[in-house]
Amino acid sequence: MSTLLRRGSTGAEVRSLQHALNARPYIHLTEDGIFGPLTEMAVRNFQRRVHLIEDGIVGPRTDALLWTRAVFADAILRVPVGNTPPGTFVRPTVSTGPIMQGVPAAPSTGAGIVQQVGVGGQVALAPWLLRPMPAPGTPSGAIWSGLISYALVYRTASQGPHVEFALNPQFLVNSRVQSTDPRWGLQLNGQVMFADLVAPGRWHLISPFLQGSGALSFGPGPSFGGGFAIGNQVAFDLVPDRLQINLQTGVAAQWANIGTPNASFSVLGQGALGATVQF
Q: Can you give the pTM of this predicted structure?
A: 0.63
- Residues 226 and 228: their CA atoms lie apart, in Å, by 7
Are the beta carbons of 248 and 231 closer than 8 angstroms?
yes
Instruction: Please state, for a pLDDT cut of 70, what percent of the chain lies above it.
Output: 84
1-108 folds as: Muramoyl-pentapeptide Carboxypeptidase; domain 1 (1.10.101)
The pLDDT score that the predictor gives to residue 91 is: 40
pLDDT in tens, 200-249: 999 999 999 999 999 999 877 789 999 999 999 999 999 987 899 999 99
Is there a contact between 241 and 256 (Cβ–Cβ < 8 Å)?
no
pLDDT classification of 151: cutoffs 50, 70, 90: very high
Range 51-72 average pLDDT: 79
Portions of the chain given CATH number 2.40.160.20: 112-278
Contact 5, 42 (CB under 8 A): no
257 in Cβ contact with 235 (< 8 Å)? no
Instruction: Give me the architecture of the 112-278 domain, per CATH.
Output: Beta Barrel (2.40)
Over residues 116-121, mean pLDDT: 96
Q: At what angle do helices 37-49 and 12-22 cross, to 10 degrees?
A: 50
Which residues of the chain form CATH 1.10.101.10?
A: 1-108
**Mean pLDDT computed over 62-75:** 62
Reduced to 3 states (helix: H, G, I; strand: E, B; else coil), residue 172 is strand
C-alpha to C-alpha distance for 187 and 58, rounded to whole angstroms: 46
110 pLDDT band (50/70/90 cuts)?
low
76 has pLDDT over 60: no
